[in-house]
Every structure is written in C-alpha cells, then in structure tokens.
Structure 1
Amino acid sequence: MIESSSLDTTRAAYDAVATLYAEMFRDSVEGHPLDRALVSAFAEFVRAAGAGPVADLGCGPGGVTARLASLGLTAFGIDASPAMIELARQEYPDLRFDEGSMLALDIADGALGGVLAWYSIIHTPPEDLPVIFAEFARVLAPGGHLLVGFFATGDDSPHPAEPFDHKVSLAYRLSIDHVADLAYKAGLTEIGRSRREPAENERFQHGRLLARKPTES
C-alpha cells in the first residue's frame, strides 16, 4: 500500500471513531431518495454492461457495499481503516472487505465492472487526485462504470478544491467541473452529473459524477 502523511492521518482519525461512525452512517445513502436512486442507476448500468464485479472504495462500515450486493452486483469493499474493515466484516460476514489504498489498488488491470467512490476522495489532497482517478480507470474493464460522490463547491467558487473541517479529518469540497475533468483526463467518458442541495443538518451541496470507461475498438 502506498503511504502518505495525509493517508496516515485519515486512517488514524477513522480508526478512532469507527464504532460511532458506523452507528451514524452504516448506510450513507439510506436517508436520501436522490442518492438511493443514483446508486440504483449505477447498479443498473453495471449490470447491463456485464463487465465484472464492483469495488466500493472507501467502504467504511460496509453498508453501501451491502446495498450494492442487494441490487444484484458482485460487490466488495476496500478501506484504509483497519477498524472500519473489521466492523464491516462483522456486520456483513458474507461479503468481502479488504484494507487498501486508492493510491495503489491491489486489483488487476481491467478487473472491475464498476467502481463506487462515495465520499472517499474528499480527504485526498488535490494534488493526489489525478493518481486516484488513474487507478479508477486502470482497474475498470472496458465498458465499466464509475460513480463518485463528494461535497461540492458552489457555482461561484473560483477554486477547484476548498478545504474544510470535516470533524473527522481535513477534507475538501470539489468543483463538479474539476471532478469531471479528472475523470476525462484519466480516459473516462462522462455519462451524467448532478448537484444535491444540503438537507437539514447538512452544511454543503453534494456533487455526483457518473462516468464510463470506453470499450476497446
């Protein structure tokens, strides 16, 4: 696993709050109909393409991984936090969960039909994001799909990334255009994007990007 000081900090922060986090966010899309619909649409795209299993990267306590499995996908989870992986394995013993880093995934080239990165890129320093998107593209099979969820900057922001206090660890709000550009430069084709306004007790807008790895000609 490639290490970095930011990854070390994030891992330690989530290890420290793993149990509380799992109680609060076991399935982070459950309470939001638009989010559930988008994850379901992602699953439908992956099933239709038939390109392979799906990795839930930054899976946390595993609730969204289990949701993907319930939608008919062969899904497994990866997280940098050993404590999160242990909780996920205890809660969902029939599913696979591995410790790992998005900077260097222990997954073969073209092995996946789908990658879900649901708020798992928000703690990544902006300069490392191209490496992560290159990894997304590498592990996707031709015709495979990527769905990314993140906190979004406002339309009037001049910055592609804005740091904020996430309470667990330093995080970044990202421009939807910037995330789309990262995917494009990694060789992925945008299918769609969306912005969700903050719900009650949420601070920021939410961005989503759905992209696809082109099939080989």
Structure 2
Amino acid sequence: MTEPDFLTETRAFYDAIATEYTDLFRDHLSRTPMDRAMLALFADLVREERPDARTAELGCGPGRMTGPLHRLGLDVHGIDLSPRMVELARQAHPEVPFSVGSMFDLPFQDGELTGVVAWYSIIHTPAERLPEVFAEFARVLAPGGHLMLAFQVGDQPSRQERPLGYPVSLDFRRLRPEHVEELAREAGLPVTSRTVREPEADEKTPQAYLLARKPKA
C-alpha cells in the first residue's frame, strides 16, 4: 500500500532537522512548569490504575517527554515516524525502548497499554484522518487506561518552509479543544480534563492539554 504523502513529508521533515531540534528542546521541560505538572499528573493517574502499567509516547521525537515519564516511574515505550529521531532518542535515553512506527498502525496488542501520550504529535495529521488515529488510541488502551494530548489551539495551520535551510516543509495544524474532545469521545475515550493556558515566551497561540480515559467494562 502506498504511504500517504503527509506521512512521507512528516518523516522527511523530522529526519532533516532531528539534530537541531534535539539541541533546541533539550532543556525545554525545565523551563515549562505546566508541562512538568501535566506529565506528573498523567503518571500518577496511570500508576494508580495499575502500578506495573505499560505506557507509550506516540510521536516521541528524541524522547524529551519519554525520558521524564520513565523517571516518573512508568514503563514507557517511545514510538516515532522518524528513524533519525528514534536514533537520537536511543542515544539520549538508553534505558527506554524506542521504535520507528506510525500512529495509524501501532505495534501493540488490543488493550495492551494503560497509558498513551501524544504530545504535539497529532498536529501533522489531516483533519479527515484524525478519527483513525483516535480509534487506534482506543484500540491499544485497556479499560481504565488514560490518554494525554497536548497541542496548539487555533484554526489556521502554520506552514514551516525550509527550516534551518533544509529543503523540507510541513504543516503544523492548530486544533480546537472542543473538536479534539469530540474526536476522543467518538472513539470511546471521554475527556476527563481540559486545560488551556495562554502563550508563553515565543509561543504564538494558547496551548491545550486534554486527558481522556477509556471506560472500564
């Protein structure tokens, strides 16, 4: 089957900028207390549901959230579309397993995970394909499992052209929290918390954090 263009473009974009991206965001979490708080909350929820729970960060990049989730006590696996990002993640976090993969075809059995994190990683998927992604989230989550999403709030995409001079480009799609909440609910993952904060530093839009949970049988 031919791969959709948006997946090919996303992989090429992040393969090209992987080293610079990793350097740019290496210490980002230390400067974002809200991000740290949301990761800690998610880890608490997952551990409370099941102390030995398996978790995955999807679209993990160089592991800048996967590593902290591991340090918060989660058995976490990082998945990313970009082989170069996965290579850098393995170098930075040798204690964490990382794999190349797509959110459209996750390498997990039905109900295998108690936690799923998609941190600014649904933003490259066209709107009409997002229901497939959320259906895959729901498939791999066990009853009682938690999903955490982070994304930029807005309506208009931001097109990144030739970052750092590399001959690649990519759309960064901003999303409305109420729409993402509807997508989650329709996939069988009702939202339990929705937080929106105002932009900080060089951010141009508000940022949203959504928590959802798969109902127990």
Which secondary structure state, in structure 2, belongs to the residue aligned with residue 174 of structure 1? coil
Amino acid at match of 1:14: Y
Amino acid at match of 2:141: L
> After superposition, where does 1:92-171 map in structure 2 within 5 Å?
92-153=93-154, 161-166=155-160, 169-171=170-172
Change over 3 Å in CA distance of 1:53–1:144 after alignment to 2: same
Q: CA deviation at 1:2?
A: 8.0
Asked whether the 8 Å contact 1:15–1:81 carries over to 2, the reply is: yes
Which secondary structure state, in structure 1, belongs to the residue aligned with residue 130 of structure 2? helix
Which secondary structure state, in structure 1, belongs to the residue aligned with residue 95 of structure 2? coil
Distance 1:180 1:201 in 2: 26
Asked whether the 8 Å contact 1:26–1:62 carries over to 2, the reply is: no
Distance 2:109 2:88 in 1: 26
C-alpha RMSD of the superposition: 1.5
Corresponding position of 1:11:
11
Q: CA deviation at 1:203?
A: 1.0
Q: Does 1:37 align with 2:37?
A: yes
Deviates more, 1:196-205 or 1:107-116: 196-205
Asked whether the 8 Å contact 1:146–1:212 carries over to 2, the reply is: yes
Structure 2 unmatched ranges of 5 or more:
164-169
Q: CA deviation at 1:112?
A: 0.3
Distance 2:23 2:182 in 1: 35
Equivalent residues, number:
209
Change over 3 Å in CA distance of 1:202–1:182 after alignment to 2: same
Q: Does 1:210 align with 2:211?
A: yes
Distance 2:2 2:76 in 1: 23
Corresponding position of 1:86:
87
Deviates more, 1:19-28 or 1:80-89: 19-28
Task: Give the TM-score, by structure 2 length.
Answer: 0.92
Q: CA deviation at 1:30?
A: 3.0
Task: Give the TM-score, by structure 1 length.
Answer: 0.92
Corresponding position of 2:166:
none
Q: CA deviation at 1:104?
A: 1.2
Corresponding position of 1:23:
23
Distance 2:44 2:101 in 1: 26
Distance 2:65 2:73 in 1: 13
Distance 2:33 2:66 in 1: 17
Change over 3 Å in CA distance of 1:177–1:77 after alignment to 2: same
Q: Does 1:46 align with 2:33?
A: no
Change over 3 Å in CA distance of 1:172–1:75 after alignment to 2: same
Change over 3 Å in CA distance of 1:5–1:139 after alignment to 2: same
Amino acid at match of 1:25: F
Deviates more, 1:44-53 or 1:131-140: 44-53
Provide, for residues 116-146 of structure 1, a one-character-per-residue CA deviation record: whole Å limited to 9, x for no partner: 0000001111111000000000000011000
Provide, for residues 150-172 of structure 1, a one-character-per-residue CA deviation record: whole Å limited to 9, x for no partner: 0112xxxxxxx432124562111
Distance 2:22 2:92 in 1: 10
Identity, in percent, stands at 50
